[in-house]
Chains A and B, each alone.
Chain A
């Protein structure tokens, strides 16, 4: 077992009929880091996670998780991972503490240890005031905290979170991520999927998925550095019209309006984008501000997922 690699997949593929949900994905996820899957809906994030946790069988390719072969050793893996589903999957008609007790017993925590862990979790996830409330009556943020408390009750080495914050407001999202960094600091490997750029930017490592394929992977900084395009912000009037004309050019990867300016990605083939723009679109560029800016993760995302979108 390689201690520094938590998850490794090679040419992982999963088909549903003639639809390929995960297409030839190879990943190396280092232990004790937060690794993100970034991608639009239907990009294969959930399927990938279900393959890694042994909930789905791969059509081809190999998976190793915590040194175990999946799906063969799925049952022994179950004790060592925590999994949080996209939809809240605890019991609405049980109270906070009853849900925690149920999970403690399912994972065979002995009575005293279980009790101690439940109290620790209630405290850590700020649920001690609400321990007798039914899970169904909790707010979105509280539910997510309860789900995370349950998923980490047995101190798993690997935590798999499928879009954990999709139903949570920004403030609760920030708190939630603080908890994830605490867990990571304690030595837990975390695999998380998201379609929020700000969340993706918090990950140590990242894989951008689209249409079941891995489009790019690396650390967010590396991905931004390696972006095969430069980012230009163009100000002025009639931005909608400008956008239509710019994206017709093959050197323009994408153009997106952000309030009073247009954010344009120009392929690295063009060495000086400002000059190129003024020469190629001389008339259009009159009385406009043109500035080169630092790429963001969204630019990376747009750049590598542009193709093949319907």
Chain B
């Protein structure tokens, strides 16, 4: 009896020793300590504020061929729903669909010349050309199909228009069956490349430091920029292997089409891989241990999944979240790859995102090379 009590007490004391040691170490590891607070805080804010499946303020174009009072009233009714926001006007449906391909607008409303006639015939008043490559955006616009015509009614244009008849004819481009995989798979390229590319390189310099290799390297004639580029290059090939796996299987198993040009796709991926590797390099010059590098990678990864437009449409986010999204390479890339793969857009159509990623790479590499000192102090 005495022995068991004694051994229990001993066991408790040993556990306590480990517990106290663990807490001491934890409180001295500042980055981990910061993570304990930052992760719930940021996740809460991201999920609470930024994630909004209730899409609003979609940028759309108007092609008004009737130039009538009815058309203006219809536009007023649509604007009142706050689902769409007319940012462009075009003369022909063709111009509007090119703007959709470029990703400038998510949809275009084509109001035909005979709109007044259509009201009388109880035919759909106008046609929506919709970018279906983002299923959530597509759904939000499809929700407008039976929209009540408040303004039109109040002005006496459509008093006898039956509420059961569809107001609009909907033309869903690129993903007419609204298959989730078609939306997800190209975006997944962005998420997976962010995950692997940033992770590989974020640990790269830290690993050399931890294993003691760095002290030797910095006494050699190797230049910081040579070290950075030399470390990044092999992973470019790794990135292309991943791209081939995702899009190849996506095409075979999920029938995800590749509508755009392959060379444009490769160039876009190349620029994005470079930007992600550079981001990893930047982390590597900040982190002191491989664990810290991993934590910082997660820190980049979570917003890259939630805010990049991969899971939730960019349009549904508040302004602050959109700013954060704009600063992530994944946001720009997901826009590009959906444009190229699903809408058949070219690099010329997507030049702002391309330029952003290229600029990020160049500036990031310079900063990383500058931050990396060939000294120990």
Contacts and interface: CB of A to CB of B under 8 A. Distances in A.
B377 A57 contact: yes
Contacts of A87: 212, 215
B219 interface: yes
**Interface SS, B side:** loop
A108 interface: yes
**Interface SS, A side:** loop
Contacts of B241: none
B219 A78 contact: yes
A92 B208 CA distance: 11
A87 B217 CA distance: 13
Contacts of B374: 55, 74
B233 to A, nearest CB: 15
A87 B376 CA distance: 15
B234 interface: no
B221 interface: yes
B212 A85 contact: yes
B211 A92 contact: yes
Nearest to B216: A89
A56 B375 contact: yes
A75 B375 contact: no
Interface string B251-290: 0000000000000000000000000000000000000000
Given A87-B212, A90-B213, A55 B219 contact: yes
Contacts of A90: 213, 216
A107 B377 CA distance: 24
Interface string A120-161: 000000000000000000000000000000000000000000
B213 A55 contact: no
A81 interface: yes
A69 B154 CA distance: 87
Contacts of A54: 375
**For chain B, which range describes its interface: under 10, 10 to 19, 20 to 34, or 35 or more residues?**
10 to 19
B218 interface: yes
B215 to A, nearest CB: 5
A28 B214 CA distance: 29
A55 B212 CA distance: 14
A103 B220 contact: yes
A75 B218 contact: no
Contacts of B219: 53, 55, 78, 81, 83
A18 to B, nearest CB: 15
30 contacts: A54-B375, A55-B215, A55-B218, A55-B374, A56-B375, A56-B377, A57-B375, A57-B377, A75-B221, A78-B219, A78-B220, A81-B219, A83-B216, A85-B212, A85-B216, A87-B212, A87-B215, A89-B211, A89-B213, A89-B214, A89-B215, A89-B216, A90-B216, A91-B211, A103-B220, A106-B220, A106-B221, A106-B222, A107-B220, A108-B221
Interface of B: 211-222, 374-377
| Minimum-distance CB pairs A-B, first 4 | A89-B216, A83-B219, A87-B212, A89-B212
